[in-house]
Amino acid sequence: MARLSTELKNDALHRIGEALRSEAQRIETANCEDLARAEESRVPAPLVKRLRFDRNKIEDLVLALNDIAALPEPVGRVRCARELDTGLLLHQVSCPLGVVGMIFESRPDALVQIAALALKSGNAVMLKGGSEALATNRALSEVIETASRASGVPAGWLQLLETRAQAAEMLQLDRYIDLIIPRGSNEFVREVMQSTTIPVLGHADGVCHLYLHRDADPQMAASIAVDAKTQYVAVCNAIETLLVHAEGAEGFLPLVAERLQQAGVTLRGCERTRKLVAAAEPASDEDWGTEYLDYILAVRVVDSLETAMEHINTYGSGHTDAIVTADRNAAEEFMQGVDAASVMWNCSTRFADGYRYGLGAEVGISTAKIHARGPVGLEGLLSYTWRVHGSGHIVADYSGPEARGVTHRELPTG
Amino acid sequence: MARLSTELKNDALHRIGEALRSEAQRIETANCEDLARAEESRVPAPLVKRLRFDRNKIEDLVLALNDIAALPEPVGRVRCARELDTGLLLHQVSCPLGVVGMIFESRPDALVQIAALALKSGNAVMLKGGSEALATNRALSEVIETASRASGVPAGWLQLLETRAQAAEMLQLDRYIDLIIPRGSNEFVREVMQSTTIPVLGHADGVCHLYLHRDADPQMAASIAVDAKTQYVAVCNAIETLLVHAEGAEGFLPLVAERLQQAGVTLRGCERTRKLVAAAEPASDEDWGTEYLDYILAVRVVDSLETAMEHINTYGSGHTDAIVTADRNAAEEFMQGVDAASVMWNCSTRFADGYRYGLGAEVGISTAKIHARGPVGLEGLLSYTWRVHGSGHIVADYSGPEARGVTHRELPTG
């Protein structure tokens, strides 16, 4: 997989798209089987909706596959080049991780997306989907494997796991699997994280904050608060707590609260908040660490930027936190002092997303500090290797009293 | 720690060096206590030697501290900059990991080195040294803490653990500790890796290979083989197995074997090797995965480059592997197909080292593919954060049928 050419991989991605179209009938038949089974077993309606896989989804995926094919080749990129001595050259070169394991809940489109990203980055992939999508996932993975084999991708690069026991076994294979990517609810991700020693790319919680500093522009503060809370409440980069500087609270909190309430948000405030916002319900300590994913927002008045950062570093999940202020120094201090994957100044936390960041594709959003952090594009599926080209160089010549000197000259990487 | 200025950190590093000198008497007294205890309890002589901490070591460390102070500031480096839209800027900026845990066997100088690297990179650090060095480690960490506090480094950034129970407890703190760095024997590192879910930077084994392709220059092959095996046999980047292409074996294996034997190396060969090298002892399957760290080398004749790569990917430890060949295509294939942190062409595996690679400092050598790989410099103690600077931007303006377009224009990072 690591040695596949760019042309071969892109050809395979295009062929997979064509095969999804030409095998649409077969995929839809399999999906109907899953849907019928889901309805029989009274799966909740929103889950059934996510399970549905029709020709519109196929067309969306064909576009996504073409986009992925159009991305620059991720493997073999020189990240650093250095002359160690005459004729002795060091290159740090990107390479695939090896084998990526993915476990996801019902949406079968995730299978196609992650398989395509794995292929583009030269990784083999093991996939475990939800049992309710078994027939659809089986059809999709067969179509993908057959189409990619026709381009010359080695057989077996994509493995579909079908049982929980197989998934549990995969999570134990830390010698063979380099990264696990879980997609699903917070509980699901947390469960995966706790049951493996393989590195996991993802995030269990998204407890994001917006902090309004003393000099925040009230209109900007209100607009960002409403967007960050309500533009899409069910996502990980929506805010769950609003922190307000005591010195400015009287000036802007009533306006911000009013705009949030007009947008349908219930506020849960600390005592000082409730003195300024009559309609706010009382907040308990539990609220500070809660990811509502709903039209609810905790609000707390704090005495200083320092207290705001302490609050965020204590209760936050290290996902995305923002400050609204006219003071560049306060913003810099906030962005250096808050320990989060994304920190923002005068804009909505909702921008924390691989597509909005211009990463080309989103593999996931990680709150780990090791490997990739925040919105992760294809580089999350890559490692690197060091390559040294010599012409007979030996270390003995560089040791002892008559050691040769080294040059350590940086070279262009282009 | 993440917000300390470059000047403050470098001042602290210089002060630590001065304090090591001015407190030399106290440190040596503590070391004598450890040495006396070690001799009483009949600790083996090589361990006692590594435990000794005298004024020469202090002078070496002062040089190392000054070198670390002179390194460029690792925190706050812009790794990527992109305009998302007018006035909406994205930066990927390096930042400290947070808290690094280090567990090391007897050498007390490791404590000073890792503390200095942690300080330079803005990390807090927990250190657990060998119990035989308890008094020395205590004296050193007190000297470091006092000196760094005088520069304004926050108290408590360096914590010395003194018991096995504390170390075991640290390995469980996956919510608070971001990276574990173990230094010691293979067994020790493997034990640490198996007893924590915190990411570990290190390597348990160094089963490195040298492959001589059909057209290898016999003199170059012999010179590299001798260097890679004998320049320092007890290190992880020394080779343990020599693979020889069948088509060239008759031509160069006798010469290479002779030169190795002259350097004191015992050869353990496969059957085909033993037909060409009378003095080679028979190798068993176990030899292929063994890290001798001694004047012993396993030798196997293989039929193709493909078989050589398969052998390496099966029995190797992903540390460092090299090929000798005049054929650029074969070399490229080897370097793409071998799954190792360092892959080399026509030079000795012994070059795989942070100082030789010009990294400025070596935090360790990692065989993991996640985070840092191969020889790891200061960047192994860093993560990154995404910073978005807006001027009131909200996501609602970029959604729906009248969505604003984005620019996604790359900006210079300098």
Q: How far is B344 from chain A (nearest CA, A)?
A: 5
The β-bridge partners of B200 are B180
C-alpha angle A193-A196-A202 in degrees, rounded to nearest 5: 30
Supply the pLDDT for residue A161: 96
Residue A388 forms contact with B (CB below 8 Å): yes
Q: Domain of A128: which CATH number?
A: 3.40.605.10
* CA dist., res. A19 & res. A4, Å (int): 21
Quote the radius of gyration of chain B (alpha carbons, Å): 25
Within a domain: A120: yes
**Interface contact B351-A390, CB threshold 8 A:** yes
Decide: helix, strand or coil at residue B309. helix
Q: Are residues A179 and A243 in the same domain?
A: no
Mean pLDDT score of chain A, rounded to an integer? Answer: 95
- What share of chain A has pLDDT > 70, as a percent? 100
Task: Out of A341, A342, A369, name the one closest to residue B98 (CB).
Answer: A369
* Together in a domain, A148 and A228: no
Let me know whether B259 and B132 are in one domain: no
Please give the Cα distance from B226 to B256 (Å, whole number): 8
**Would you tell me the crossing angle of helices B6-22 and B134-151 to the nearest 10 degrees?**
140
What's the confidence (pLDDT) of residue A203? 87
In a shared domain, residues A187 and A231: no
DSSP B241-304: EEEEEHHHHHHHHHHHHHHHHHTTPEEEE-HHHHHH-TTPEEP-GGGGG----SSEEEEEEESS
Q: Which of A351, A338, A321, A231 is nearest to B90 (CA)?
A: A351
Cβ <8 Å between A337 and B3: yes
Residues 311-340 of chain B with CB under 8 A from chain A are: 331, 333, 335-337, 339-340
Q: Hey, is the C-beta of A188 within 8 angstroms of any chain B C-beta?
A: no
Say what percent of chain A tops pLDDT 90: 88
pLDDT digits (tens, 9 = 90+) for A391-401: 999 999 999 99
Is A385 within 8 Å of B342 when comparing Cβ atoms?
A: yes
**Per-residue pLDDT for A19 more than 80?**
yes
Q: Region B300-316: what's the mean pLDDT?
A: 97
Domain residues for the domain of B221 are 208-351
The pLDDT score that the predictor gives to residue A388 is 98
Q: Are residues B113 and B17 located together in one domain of the fold?
A: yes
Per the domain annotation, does A411 fall within a domain?
A: no
Average pLDDT over residues B193-205: 87
CATH code at position A328: 3.40.309.10
How far apart are the CA of B121 and the nearest CA of chain A, in angstroms? 14
The one-letter code for the residue type at B143 is: V
How far apart CA B217 and CA B257 sit, in angstroms, is 14
B390 three-class SS: strand
Q: Last residue of a domain, which of A351, A376, A397?
A: A351
Average pLDDT of span A276-291: 96
Q: Residue A339: helix, strand or coil by DSSP?
A: coil
* Mean pLDDT in residue range A234-262: 96
Are residues A183 and A267 located together in one domain of the fold? Answer: no
Same domain for B158 and B52? yes
Residue B250, SS3 per DSSP? helix
From the list A356, A363, A323, A207, the residue with the least C-alpha distance to B90 is: A356
Q: What is the mean pLDDT of residues B243-259?
A: 97
Does residue B222 fall inside a structural domain?
A: yes
Q: How many CB atoms lie within 10 A of CB B206?
A: 23
Specify whether the CB–CB gap between A218 and A382 falls below 8 A.
Answer: no
The beta-carbon neighbor of A199 closest among B3, B370, B384 is B370
How far is the C-alpha of A85 from the C-alpha of B74, rounded, in Å?
25
A35 lies in the same domain as A167: yes
Number of domains within chain B = 2
3-class state of residue A71 by DSSP: coil
pLDDT at A135 over 70: yes
CB contact under 8 A, A231 and B351: no
Residue A65 lies in a domain: yes
Q: What is the DSSP string of A280-329?
A: PEEP-GGGGG----SSEEEEEEESSHHHHHHHHHHH--SSEEEEE-S-HH
pLDDT of amino acid A46: 80
A383 interfaces chain B, CB cutoff of 8 Å:
yes
Binned at pLDDT 50, 70 and 90, residue B193 comes out as confident
Reference B347, options A85, A93, A171, A148; nearest CA is A85
Task: With a cut of 90, say whether residue B22 has pLDDT above it.
Answer: yes
The answer on pLDDT for A413 being more than 90 is no
Considering only CA atoms, give the Rg of chain A. 25
| pLDDT per position as a tens digit, B62-82 | 999 999 999 999 999 999 999
Could you say which residues from 346 to 375 on chain A have a Cβ atom under 8 Å away from some Cβ of chain B?
A: 346-348, 350-352, 356-358, 369-371, 373-375
Tokens of A354: 């691989």
Position B106 pLDDT exceeds 80: no
Q: Give the mean pLDDT of A11-40.
A: 96
**pLDDT number for residue A124:** 98
Q: Which of 84-123 (A) contact B at CB < 8 A? A: 84, 88, 90, 95, 97-98
ipTM of the complex, rounded to two decimals: 0.93
Q: Does the residue B118 lie in any domain?
A: yes
Segment (H or E) for B40: helix B24-40
* Cβ contacts of A345 on chain B, cutoff 8 Å: 387-390
Residues 196-235 of A with CB under 8 A from B: 197, 199, 217, 220, 223-224, 226-228, 231
Could you tell me if residue A358 is inside a domain? Answer: no
pLDDT tens string A327-377: 999 999 999 999 999 999 999 999 999 999 999 888 889 998 999 999 999
Interface test with A, best of B357, B363, B366 (most A CBs within 10 A): B357
Minimum CA–CA partner of A76 in chain B? B336
In a domain, B327, yes or no: yes
Instruction: Tell which of B166, B194, B222 closes a domain.
Output: B194
- For residues A87 and A189, state if they share a domain: yes
pLDDT of A30 > 70? The answer is yes
B 150-169 residues with CB < 8 A to A:
none
Please report the pLDDT score of residue A205 as a whole number.
87
Sign of the torsion angle spanned by Cα atoms A340, A344, A345, A350: negative
Q: Under an 8 A CB cutoff, do A373 and B396 touch? A: no
Say if residue A219 is in the same domain as residue A276: yes
Q: Which residues of A touch B386 (CB under 8 A)?
A: 341-343, 352, 357, 373-375
- Whether A187 and A225 map to the same domain: the answer is no
Which of A310-319, B354-363, B368-377 is predicted most confidently?
A: A310-319
Asked, for residue B155, whether it belongs to a domain, the answer is: yes
Give the model's confidence band at A106: pLDDT under 50 very low, under 70 low, under 90 confident, else very high: low
Domain match, B264 and B140 both: no
Residue indicated by tokens 């059957």: B271
Is A235's pLDDT higher than 80?
yes
- CA of B20 vs chain A CAs: smallest distance (Å): 28
| Boundary (domain end) residue, out of B194, B225, B249 | B194
Among A215-229, B34-48, B255-269, B389-403, whose mean pLDDT is lowest?
B34-48
CA nearest neighbour of A334 among A192, A213, A157, A191: A213
Using the Cα atoms of residue B277, residue B282, residue B288 and residue B293 in order, give the sign of their dihedral: negative
Looking at every residue in chain B, the average pLDDT score rounds to 95
Q: Is the pLDDT of residue B184 over 90?
A: no
